[in-house]
Chain A
Amino acid sequence: MLWACILLPHLALDGILRRRASDDPLVLVDGAVNARSIVAVNASARDAGLRVGQRLTAAHALLARFDALPHDPQAADRWQRFLAAVAYRYSSEVSLLPHAIVLEASRSLALFGPWPRFESMLRADFAALDFRHRIALAPTPHAAWVLAGIADGRAVLTPDALRPALQAVPMRKSRLPAASIEALSGMGIRTLGQLLTLPRDGLRRRFGNELPQMIGRLLGEIPAGLDAYRPPDAFDLRIELSHEVENLAALVFPLRRMTGDLAAYLAGRDGGVQRFLLRLEHREGRATEVKVGLLSPERDAGMLFELARGRLEQVQLPEPVLAMRLVARDLPDFVPAGRDLFDERPANALPIEQLRERLRARLGDRAVYRLGGTTDPRPERAQAVADEGAGYEESRLRPTWLLDRPIPLRGPAPRILAGPERLETGWWDGAEACRDYYVIETSLGQHAWAFCQPGEQGGWMLQGWFA
């Protein structure tokens, strides 16, 4: 077994930074109201001299203007679970550790290639989502977690190499119980290497059962006992905007993020999305809902973004938006469209499905359709929007254009080219039709399909054109 650990040291801050377009100083603060202290700073705030652990009052003395947001542990948890769903793409065994995600990698290596390549794929995914990370590989999940805390990119591929790799790890980075670390430091034990040489029995008598167990897990002597992560069956992401947004253009940046996250989640789940909902939240619980529906499941980030934006642009905002939420519950299997080897389309062609979605997003859900014949002989009902076309084949002469409903044909008397064709039907559904159809030529040279009352040859009603 090999476990990859992705350590996320700045989870809470990255979760906020990635939805901000600006680079202004920002800190996260925590603690009691009158004693707030900084728990995270972004790059520009650090340049200005703000540090983790500083009191907020001290920070205000250093820098006049910066944003201070409350640290939200729940938001950090949500991001961690979201990233676990993304990592689920690479392994079926994904678990959560504090500030870290571990995944079983030995079987994934067969699919994704040797570790350096697999590692770069992981890094590319997390970098694309804008989460800072450190990655390490070790035969046990806890060892990988410890190594990721020491240095980025460590890889221990065999169990034999694990002990030497852990030798030099200082005790305070060993992720063992804090009380034990303190006591062991007092006894002169400074590194894990020193600890591992001590007899386990003695440690058990002195520190209780927990410490020897942790050491056993670290070395893989006993099972790690981690709960396997299972991705949720629905995607629900909420972004609180840093200020009230009144025009839609300002929603485009967070929207791109959200659809990108949805695509990453779908890739992890190997599924697609057919319908999702954008909820634009206003004050006092009011919300505007934008539904996005697709013809077939999709998961391409660019396409989801474009479609969602197309729908969003048609919305009239009744009041400012405070937060945006994306909910996707209908997540069917995704079947990538196959492409023929001898496809005659140009290389950069947009697939016809995507073209239909693009047209529907701007023109409306019913804007793209096909027509198929029905068995009703009345021209008004002889055809309908059809999914699969085909249907009944009419053998009698029919025009190429049909009018939605017949209109009177004015002008000089037309010349009759063919007819009559008697149509007498529909007595059962209240739309009875009794007509004589003719093909006529108008004075302008148009060939028309028109009808009149049975037996008459006047009072023409135009039904279609032989265009």
Chain B
Amino acid sequence: MGAVVALSGMLDARQVWRGRAMPVPAGEQPTGWAALDAALPAGGWPDAALSEILLPVDGVGELRLLLPTLARLSHGARPVIVVAPPYAPCVAGWQQHGVDMRRVDIVAAPEAEVLWATEQCLRSGSCAAVLAWPRKADDRALRRLQVAADTGKALAFAFRDRRHLSSASPAALRLEIETAPSARVWVRKCRGGAVPAQPFALSRSLH
């Protein structure tokens, strides 16, 4: 051993098996942002999977990114559940974005129970989407959420600090929100397709 072998030669000789990503069917969960939908392989959120949203600080447009989706889901058959939000959701503000607050359940959970509650909601199969702010989630905890989302056919959204970007994650989609020089969303990982090279500009117009 030790001899350097050209990879192309091995590929030509069919000595290397190349795993191919599963083709992703066109999703039915548009994000409501045309530019983002176009950039994502599923044409929207990965269905029945965990999406991770990484933020530098609170209040940088993370809800704005989700509100078109929540507005659509809150008029569907299954409710949306918000587990232990860091602040109180402002009813008037959410309604102004079209969310039906009668279909949004808020779960107050102590920090130690957040992951349990989130997993229960996802696994139940009776929620359209579950939003959570796991603070002490490791790779295994996130994988549990991913499996639960798959079991319950629900959209899972985990909001986490940007410093977790360097650690691996089982999430099907990872988005990072950047504020400087302008409000932009980078796709950092997406299952079933190449990561878009360009960020997507997050419009933060007030109305």
A425 CA to B88 CA, complexed, in Å = 22
Q: Which residues of B contact A362 (CB under 8 A)?
A: 113, 116-117
Shortest Cβ-Cβ A-B pairs, 4 listed: A445-B179, A349-B125, A465-B59, A389-B102
Contact of A363 among B56, B85, B102, B117 (CB under 8 A): B117
Tell whether, in the assembled complex, residue A369 and residue B106 are in contact, meaning their CB atoms are under 8 Å apart: yes
Interface size class of B (residues with CB under 8 A): 35 or more
Q: Does the CB pair A368–B95 fall under 8 Å? A: no
Q: In the complex, how many residue pairs between chain A and chain B have their CB atoms under 8 Å apart?
A: 180
A397 within 8 A of B: yes
Q: Does B5 contact A (CB under 8 A)?
A: no
A391-B92 Cα distance, complex, nearest whole Å = 10
Instruction: State whether A467 and B64 are in contact (beta carbons under 8 Å apart), knowing that A345-B78, A346-B153 are contacts in the complex.
Output: yes
Determine the chain A residues whose CB is within 8 A of the CB of B101 once the complex forms. Answer: 370-373, 389
Flag A437-457 by CB within 8 Å of B: 1 or 0 each: 001001011111000000000
Q: How many residues of A are in contact with the other chain, CB < 8 A?
A: 56
Residues A369 and B105 in contact, CB atoms below 8 Å apart: yes
A350, B125: Cβ atoms closer than 8 Å = yes
Cα A348 to Cα B113 in complex, Å, equals 24
Q: How far is the CB of B150 from chain A (nearest CB, A)?
A: 10
* A23 interface residue per 8 A CB criterion: no
Chain B's closest residue to A448 (CB) is B59
Further 18 A-B residue pairs, CB within 8 A, beyond A350-B123, A363-B110: A345-B78, A350-B126, A370-B106, A373-B91, A394-B95, A399-B93, A400-B90, A401-B85, A401-B89, A402-B87, A402-B89, A402-B90, A445-B56, A445-B60, A464-B87, A466-B59, A467-B58, A467-B59
Assess the B108–A367 pair: CB atoms within 8 A.
Answer: yes
Q: Does the CB pair A349–B106 fall under 8 Å?
A: no
Question: Is B127 at the interface (CB under 8 A from chain A)?
Answer: yes
| A373:B126 contact, CB within 8 angstroms | no
A358 an interface residue at 8 Å Cβ cutoff?
yes
| Residues of A bordering B, CB below 8 Å | 340, 343-346, 348-352, 354-356, 358-359, 362-364, 366-373, 379, 382-383, 388-391, 393-394, 397-404, 417-418, 439, 442, 444-448, 464-467
In the complex, A333→B60 CA distance in Å? Answer: 49
Cβ-defined contact, A446 with B59, below 8 A:
yes
Contact A398 B120 (CB under 8 A): no
Smallest CB separation, B33 vs chain A (Å): 16
Cβ A444 vs Cβ B57 within 8 A = yes
Whether A368 touches B106, Cβ cut-off 8 Å, given contacts A343-B77, A359-B120, is yes
Complex: chain A residue closest to B79, CB-CB: A352
Cβ contacts under 8 Å, A391 to chain B: 91
A398/B93 contact (C-beta < 8 A), A355-B121, A359-B117, A447-B204 known: yes
Q: Which residue of A lies closest to B108 (CB)?
A: A367
A25–B199 Cα distance when bound, in Å, is 75
- Kindly state whether residue B104 has any CB partner on chain A within 8 Å: yes
B96 within 8 A of A: yes
> With a CB–CB cut-off of 8 A, which chain B residues contact A397?
96, 206-207
Q: Quick one: which of A401, A444, A447 contacts B88, CB cutoff 8 A?
A: A401
Q: Residue of B at shortest CB range from A396?
A: B92
Known pairs A346-B125, A446-B60; A390 contacts B107 (CB<8 A): no
A344 x B78 contact (CB < 8 A): yes
Whole-angstrom CA separation of A95 from B41 in the bound complex: 69
Q: Which residues of B contact A401 (CB under 8 A)?
A: 58-59, 63, 85-90, 93
The contact sample of 5 A-B pairs, CB cut-off 8 A, is A349-B124, A350-B124, A367-B108, A370-B106, A383-B88
Residues in B with CB closer than 8 Å to A346 are 125, 151-153
Bound-state CA distance A126–B92 (Å) is 56
Contact A394 B92, CB 8 Å, known A350-B126, A363-B117? yes
- In the complex, which of the residues B90, B116, B124 contacts A355, with contact meaning CB atoms closer than 8 Å? B124
Provide the residues of chain B in CB contact with A371, threshold 8 Å: 88-89, 91, 101, 104, 106
**CB neighbours of A389 from chain B (8 A):** 100-102
B residues in contact with A399, CB < 8 Å: 90, 93
Bound Cα distance A400, B87 (Å): 9
**Chain A positions within 8 Å of B127 at CB level:** 352, 355
- Contacts of B117 on A, CB cut-off 8 Å? 359, 362-363
